[in-house]
Amino acid sequence: MQTAKIASAAAILFLFSLTVSYGADVAKIGVVDFQRILEVSTAGKSAQAEIKSQGEKMETDLKKKEGELEELKKRLEREALVMSREMREEKEREFRIKINDFKSLEKKYKEEFKVLNNRLVNRIKKDVFELIEETGKKEGYLLIIEKNEAGVMYSPTTIDITDKLIPQYNDKFAKQTKSKTQE
């Protein structure tokens, strides 16, 4: 009798384990490397080019103004010996004002550069997240995480869907660019 109870309990446990293993869905998990999308995708390359172009314009302007300040400083030092005290103080005050203007312009450019970078990256993030959501729903992913920001220390390359998303995003970006040029 005791043996029959143990055998039936074992049989029930065995049946439960079969239904659990056969009824369980496989959790499909994907990983996306957003940094690689920024570096490889058409939109990412376009954003990088725009950021670089604006940065170079700002840097060129700042170097020009810095050169003007250096020239003004040299002229002031040369002419200081022949100027009256009042004139020298006035020129030094003007020079300090120009230095402050330069520092303000430099600060303004840094802020504009940061805003431009954030705007372009956030636009790409928004587009990519929409694409990830669409892909996740269509292909039945339980979870798709960003490889670098999520703190993923290891993930097999088989779950990295970045290479699948880049061509899709390139197509989407091309369509967006085409529709903007037609407007």
Interacting residues of 155 by C-beta distance below 8 A, sequence separation 6+:
31, 147
Question: Which homologous superfamily does the CATH classification assign to the domain defined by 25-177?
Answer: Skp domain (3.30.910.20)
More confident residue, 180 or 124: 124
Q: Which of 11-20, 85-94, 137-146 has the lowest mean pLDDT?
A: 11-20
Give the pLDDT confidence score for residue 37 in this predicted structure. Answer: 94
Give the pLDDT confidence score for residue 183 in this predicted structure. Answer: 65
CB 144 within 8 A of CB 28: no
Give the pLDDT confidence score for residue 2 in this predicted structure. Answer: 55
CB 127 within 8 A of CB 177: no
**Total-model pTM:** 0.70
Interacting residues of 4 by C-beta distance below 8 A, sequence separation 6+:
none
* Residue 7 in this model has a pLDDT that exceeds 60: no
Give the pLDDT confidence score for residue 3 in this predicted structure. Answer: 53
Give the pLDDT confidence score for residue 94 in this predicted structure. Answer: 93
Mean pLDDT value across the chain: 84
